[in-house]
A and B are shown apart, each in its own frame.
Chain A
């Protein structure tokens, strides 16, 4: 498949801004959606708008089938052992908060420890801070080095017999470095510590086989992997999900309700209280199919060409400081966060916007990492498999023009 063929399936990519063709390089925040997802979303909104599971009528039955077949699709995509291990949420943030609360209630005692890495998104920091405060636990930080690589060499000593959970991103949303998750899991498990992997960036670029990774929890958001916004997944090992208490009460999550006491639904319903995102969640199925399709060999090679071109261009410009520099076995996705000497990231983003290029600027929901590198913010260009080499060249040229206007 060629990149032009791929682009035809994404109606949002043919848009213009300020009369210029849109060059969308903010994919790490929200990725554009293919027609297959938009069609599914529309069809469910129009023709299958009914509450799931309990109604006996036809459109509810069909809506339920769509919803549950998305669960099977996610199970297959992640290679989870069973469909009961796939919990639908509103996004990665909701998934992490669920684990932080329920895991905390079940397994965390005063003086226990939770580890997060220094390069985590706020969504993989703040829920743990809240849980530690609630349970009297201690939050410990696994640092990154100057090039943006996790200091795995320190992990062995960081994990103690009081460490209950280590929470790391598969790929940092700022650095774009693919973290050695398997190695992290091995170190942690050898000391009895469990591992939660934030797959928000990983799911679209490398995918995930949760049994191969060996992680205990894996979370991701739909809107970063071609699905509708407000959708998300929590994978959890069955025995953990069974031991943890429910998160929210009401709706789907009950078995029987009496004033003398309520019993809870079995997995996965136990964690899916309230009316579900019945139009959005089923789009995960065509979305993950698209993610699989776009990992085809030709497109991967093309994507590597785009990545290498941008990487070389940025690294060879001495005014630019790139955060997340690959080394050894190549381990970087096409996500580039950088600062430019003498030019503010916000000015650059504003000028690029007027040139038709959508990038992100600011702290990227990773303030501790900004502090680590002593910057107030960065500019981030994140590419998807549908971005072309021509777009990459236009980006580099436009960046040069923006810099010369500012410096």
Chain B
């Protein structure tokens, strides 16, 4: 089992710091696009309707599995910025215990201003992704 070096909050702080380096939203998107391009691959056979997240203009598939008491998430999307956002979520929540995730308030997303800067349809998608991650944690408590 991989040992967690940083706490959930520490990883979130790092992301908030990363985002604060950019003044322009266009630069923040460039950063998200990079993250999206580097998101590890997701199996084609996993792109089933039951893994599809509702509320997105783009399609998002999000899956998870439990290993030795920790939740691991994998995801994909046909839109690259959405993939970047997922990548952000995965970097924070993948490999955490259900207790850690269920106890988190996801407020770092507001601190980087992501939600407000998304179109309403994409913001809905983000809310749905968060719900899926939260539900995965709660069902494994």
Any A CB within 8 A of the CB of B25: yes
Given contacts A362-B57, A377-B57, contact A18 B78 (CB under 8 A): no
Chain A positions within 8 Å of B79 at CB level: 344, 346-347
For the residues of B in contact with A, the DSSP-based class is helix
* A344–B78 CB distance below 8 A: yes
Check A346 against B58 for contact (C-beta < 8 Å): yes
Q: Knowing A344-B80, A349-B119 are in contact, say whether A405-B29 is a contact too (CB < 8 A).
A: yes
Q: Is A406 an interface residue (CB 8 A)?
A: yes
B99 CB-CB contact with A under 8 Å: no
Q: Are A350 and B80 in contact (CB under 8 A)?
A: no
Contact B58 A344 (CB under 8 A): yes
Number of interface residues of B (CB under 8 A): 18
- A347-387 interface bits toward B, Cβ cutoff 8 Å, 1 = contact, 0 = none: 10111011100000110000000000000110000000000
Asked if B25 and A18 make an inter-chain contact with CB atoms under 8 angstroms apart, the answer reads yes
Asked if residues A376 and B78 are in contact (CB atoms below 8 Å), the reply is yes
Expressed in whole angstroms, the Cα–Cα distance for A311 and B90 within the complex equals 41
Q: How many residues of A contact B (CB 8 A)?
A: 17
Looking at the complex, which one of B24, B78, B81 makes contact with A350 (CB distance below 8 Å)? B81
A389 to chain B, nearest CB (A): 24
A361 to B80, CA, bound (A): 15
Residues of chain A from 328 to 349 with CB closer than 8 A to chain B in the complex: 343-344, 346-347, 349
Question: B12 at interface (Cβ–Cβ under 8 A)?
Answer: no
Please determine whether B33 and A406 come into contact, CB atoms closer than 8 angstroms. yes
Whether, in the assembled complex, B87 has its beta carbon less than 8 Å from a beta carbon of chain A, the answer is no
Interface string of B56-74 (1 = CB under 8 A from A): 0111000000000000000
- Which B residues touch A353, using CB under 8 A? 119
Given contacts A346-B122, A361-B57, A376-B59, A405 and B25 within 8 Å (CB-CB): no
Beta-carbon contact of A405 and B33 below 8 Å:
yes
For residue B82, CB closer than 8 A to chain A, the reply is: yes
Q: Does B26 make an interface contact (CB < 8 A)? A: yes
* CB-nearest residue of chain A to B58: A346
0/1 string, B17-39, CB within 8 A of A gives 1 = 00000001110011001000000
Shortest Cβ distance from B4 into chain A, in angstroms?
A: 32
**Least Cβ–Cβ distance between A368 and chain B, in angstroms:** 18
Q: Which residues of B have CB within 8 Å of A361?
A: 57
Given known A344-B80, A405-B29, A405-B33, contact A350–B59 (CB-CB < 8 A): no
Top 9 closest A-B pairs, CB basis? A344-B79, A346-B57, A354-B26, A354-B25, A346-B79, A346-B58, A347-B81, A347-B79, A362-B57
Give 9 new A-B contacts, CB below 8 A, not counting A350-B118, A376-B59. Answer: A18-B25, A343-B80, A347-B58, A347-B80, A354-B24, A354-B26, A362-B121, A377-B57, A406-B80
Residues on A facing B (Cβ under 8 Å)? 18, 343-344, 346-347, 349-351, 353-355, 361-362, 376-377, 405-406
Residues of chain B at the chain A interface (Cβ within 8 Å)? 24-26, 29-30, 33, 57-59, 78-82, 118-119, 121-122
